[in-house]
Amino acid sequence: GGRAPRGSWSPDSSGSPSLREPRYRVVLLGDPGVGKTSLVNLFAGVQERDLLDQHGGAAYERRLTVDGEETTLVVLDTWEPEQQGEKSQRCSHCLQVGNAYIIVYSVTDRDSFESASELRIQLRRARQAEDIPIILVGNKTDLVRCREVSEEEGQACAAVFDCKFIETSAALQHNVAELFEGVVRQIRLRQGGKKS
């Protein structure tokens, strides 16, 4: 059956008032500069609830109500390719721990779009047997004149890779709430289908 690793990110938060409430880990992947931190900051709002995960990445926690049900999302913003040495290790770790993944590229940067496909392939390899929700995100749609990747290309890529797709603008706060609500819905769909 599905064995979602639980709790490794926040060992024994026994002070938590609602242990029955679902708590999901979402990992943000993508090239530097595509807007991951901006998106997660918008989602998390004030950063007073920041956590530090055990590998030094930033984790943001927020409760949200989607379709009338409350959920806690822990969002991990961990990809730090500047540190070449640690990159592969940290990344293989983040490929293991997510209940869902958000792969972000910038619509103004074709290289980041190519990287998104590579990340999708790595993820599939790392979690072969599992059906994990993945959302492909084209960010920075406000930069209309710098666009290098069309919405149609993004959609086509998502179709090939069997992901959901959404375009966002962190700058205009466009589609950001929809993105994270969509993640929750995707996780619930999977869990409803085949819960052990």
Measured CA to CA, the distance from residue 159 to residue 90 in angstroms comes to 28
Taking the least distance from each CB to ligand GDP, the nearer of 147 and 164 is: 147
CB of 11 to ligand GDP, least distance (A): 26
Which one, of 132, 149, 135, lies nearest residue 179 by Cα?
Answer: 135
CA dihedral 171, 115, 187, 57 (to 10 degrees): -70
The contact pattern for ligand GDP, residues 143-162, with x = CB under 6 A and - = no contact, is x-------------------
- Check residue 142 for interaction with ligand GDP (CB under 6 A): yes
- Check residue 169 for interaction with ligand GDP (CB under 6 A): yes
Question: Widest CA span of the chain, in angstroms?
Answer: 50
Measured CA to CA, the distance from residue 53 to residue 121 in angstroms comes to 25
CB of 82 to ligand GDP, least distance (A): 10
Residue 126's SS3 state is: helix
Which residue, judged by CB position, is nearest to ligand GDP in the bound state?
Answer: 35
Which residues here bind ligand GDP, judged by CB under 6 A?
30, 32-38, 139-140, 142-143, 169-171
